[in-house]
Amino acid sequence: MNKLLVFLALCSAFIVLPTSGRVVCYFTSWTIYRPDHGKFSASNIDPNLCTHILYAFVGLREDGTVSVLDDWELTGLEEMAHLQAIKEQNPDLKLILSMGGWNEGSAKYSTVAGNPSLRQSLVDSVLAFNDQYGLDGFDLDWEYPCQRGGVDADKANFITLLGELKSALNARGQTLSAAVSGGIASCKLSYDIAAVAENLDMINVMVYDFHGAFEPFVGHYAPLYASSLDQTDEQKTLNVAAGIEYWLDQGAPASKINIGLGTYGRGFSLADAANTSLYAGTYGGSEAGPYTREMGVIGYNEVCELYSNWEYIWDDEQQVPHIVNGNQWIGFDDARSLQIKVEYANSKGLGGAMVWSLDTDDFSGICGGGKYPLLNTINQYLN
């Protein structure tokens, strides 16, 4: 049995313990359209493995109101009703509306944040949407203030917007969170961290996607620590520990921070199949998986089901695994690396974990380790 199969088998060897920290899980609405074993519906969610489920995503209209990006998924396929039914199974579960994401860009958010009347429209629209569907809060995933079509004033306007949202939501007993960058260079551009933290109930720090097919060389998408192969000062900061510690050092309370954890990976096509080291040259992303169907991105469910015979390599410095087959190199997280990351979060006194996302865990248990091996690992070791 190769090393990957050994670690997958270990997934079934633990008993899930009640968690005393937050487990904030993103439910991505488009995954209901995936084929075969990759199809994921709200009805697949285990109601007891997350403290919060974030419905991702809605968009933002130019008038400041909530834009439903896929009304057929939301109401035609009754996915919102399915989410509400899950909450009936676990009344302590919180359902949160999440707005934004990478594809939304920044320009509309910049315009709304800088205009008092449009900010009020957004607040009113969020409250109305939450009332309509019985939701418990709002998550803003603006990627990113001052970048990607934003302006310098975004840094201050973001804080103003968060303050107005938090005041209105908290008055109704609802929660405000935001997904924020875990890259230090990006944070310096986008955030007054202490002020952002003051105006949020939870901070979902995206300490992942540090490397990927958007670069011409190999790098793990979410290393816990730096590598001795890192060359530049910035490369040495592109890791989980550096990102979390920056947020802490800049004044974010540990109790508000949720460490971002991935149930997926990113991969590359190697320029030279004989050179598989970090920073080896590449000519693009790895081949698309049958479920995620995107070059350079792979779900853990695809790795464990389809690639268990690939060579498994553990990076002792970065504390994460990757697999190699010919010219294909994929870095991802498994139960072992997530346990170590959660234990790191515990050592920093963090309030919980944020999981992106439910649909790429082995949610149906087809790999033989039981359903949701990664999410179960997070629950077992958190606090």
Mapped onto helix, strand or coil, the DSSP state of residue 337 is helix
Task: Looking at 71-153, list the stretches that DSSP marks H as alpha helix, in order from N- to C-terminal side.
Answer: 71, 79-89, 107-113, 116-133
DSSP E strand boundaries for the chain: 22-28, 52-60, 66-67, 94-100, 137-141, 175-181, 202-206, 257-262, 264-270, 282-285, 297-299, 311-315, 320-325, 328-332, 352-356
Active site residues: 143
The C-alpha angle 185, 279, 7, rounded to 5 degrees, equals 100
**How many other CB atoms sit within 10 Å of the CB of residue 29?**
23
Terminal CA-to-CA distance of the chain, rounded, Å? 32
At 224, the amino acid letter reads L
What are the structure tokens assigned to 70, written together?
């896929």
